[in-house]
Amino acid sequence: MIICPSCQKQNQDHYKFCLGCGAELPREAAAQPALDETQKRGVGARIEDEQTNIGIPVWRDPEPAPAAAPGATPPPVPARKVDAPPGLCPECGHPNPVGNRFCAACGLKLPIKGQPAPPKARTKAGTDDLSGAVLTALNPDGTEAGSFPLPKTPTVIGRDSAELFAGDAFLSPKHATFTPRKGGLRVRDEGSLNGVFRRLLADQPFLLVPGQVFRVGQELIRFDLLDPHGPDQSGVEHMGSPMDGYVGRISLVIGRESTGASFPVPETGMNFGRERGEVLFPEDGYVSGLHCRLSHEQGKVYLTDLGSSNGTFVRLAKEEDLSNGDILLMGQQLFRVTI
């Protein structure tokens, strides 16, 4: 059995994609013993921490078939079975047990009985109904994994919108809306569970607002301003009131509505990294030795990426304009924006 690193579902050794969440299964993984109920509860405790799983599976096209021998007649390409029987993948024809959400062979989200299969993502732009803007999915090594040209009208992207997004269980069904503007593109988070993150440009300070969430490697961090309370009418100070020299607080996000360890942000600023800095993540391989910095200038707090390998991402809190070349994180996938 192969245990999915994303949702911990057990899959047979020959499966390429998880039956539970559609994530690509590690092919080099050795067979693992089944978990007992106590172990299942142990690993299940981190399922809510779905935001901390970037950098692992992204969508990949199925491996190409081997080349035919010279002079041989190529086999016919099977037609897409829109009305395939339950469990039969309409894309590759692989038989799956009834009730599985994703195909074990190609990772396609299987249609629910009575609903049509999700439409294919378009691969060619330039027609009259397209805006010219394109979302390109990126593999962890930076290579392209597929593209989705955006039409001129507002388009909702999510797990139910097209095959490029269907295999990502960390995308909400309606995750974000992309709206082309004259010479530009805007994005709005549709209240998704895992949010829309934009990668910061290196060495470009970004103004943080209270409650904003940013990502360093696999860690989610929330920034809050310290709210000072003066003494009451009797001159009694509030317990836990901020001390002079500190301007904010950062907290590690460990669940949907919960946070873990917190650290005060001094006026002198603080650095994050795997090896250097005031806040260290030594076990996170996606964090650079010196990754990013919080700085305080003229009463405001800024976040700056220090040229890290995997980038620093900020969760978008409102509808925002995008620029050509922006990198977005939605679900478990990275997307490059071309305008």
What pLDDT band is residue 60 in, cutting at 50, 70 and 90? very low
Q: Is the pLDDT of residue 176 over 80?
A: yes
pTM comes to 0.62
Q: Cα-Cα-Cα-Cα dihedral of 246, 259, 257, 275, to 10°?
A: 100
Nearest to 296 by CA among 230, 239, 226: 226
Rounded to the nearest 5°, which phi and psi values hold at 8?
A: 70, 15
Quick one: average pLDDT of 295-316? 96
The tokens describing 314, both together, are 């900020």
Average pLDDT of the chain to the nearest whole number:
78
Return d(Cα 91, Cα 81) in angstroms, integer.
7
Q: Is the pLDDT of residue 203 over 80?
A: yes
Q: Which helix (H) or strand (E) holds 315?
A: strand 312-315
pLDDT at 10: 76
Quick one: average pLDDT of 47-56? 37
In sequence order, the 6+-apart residues with CB closer than 8 A to the CB of 179 are 154, 155, 185, 186, 187, 188
